[in-house]
Amino acid sequence: MSQTLEGLAAIVNEVAGTPIEDITADKAFVDDLDIDSLSMVEVVMACEDKFGVSIPDGEVKNLRTVGDAVAYIDAQS
């Protein structure tokens, strides 16, 4: 598990209570992890804090899966 994925999993776990082991790169935030739009905003804000990246509102809709978010964060940082 990459460090980014590990950090992101911890954030999703804290925001939505999803078990860490369920949070893998292929999972979609909405369809698989039951993250609604407001929880997604909290995940994004926590990622910005933790990884020192900027994720504008327009970009959030492109982050469908956990893997999408990891790739975006890794490309930024």
* 18 SS3 class: coil
Residue 30 found at the interface with another protein (CB under 8 A): no
DSSP 21: G
Residue 20 found at the interface with another protein (CB under 8 A): no
Distance between CA 72 and CA 53 in Å, rounded?
A: 9
Residue 38 found at the interface with another protein (CB under 8 A): yes
Q: Which of 31, 45, 59, 62 binds another protein (CB under 8 A)?
A: 45
Residue 41 found at the interface with another protein (CB under 8 A): yes
Left (φ > 0), alpha (ψ -120 to 50) or beta: where does 34 sit? left
Q: Which of 32, 42, 68, 74 binds another protein (CB under 8 A)?
A: 42
Q: Which residue has the tokens 């990622």?
A: 47
Where on the chain is the footprint of another protein (CB under 8 A)? 36-38, 40-42, 44-45, 57, 60
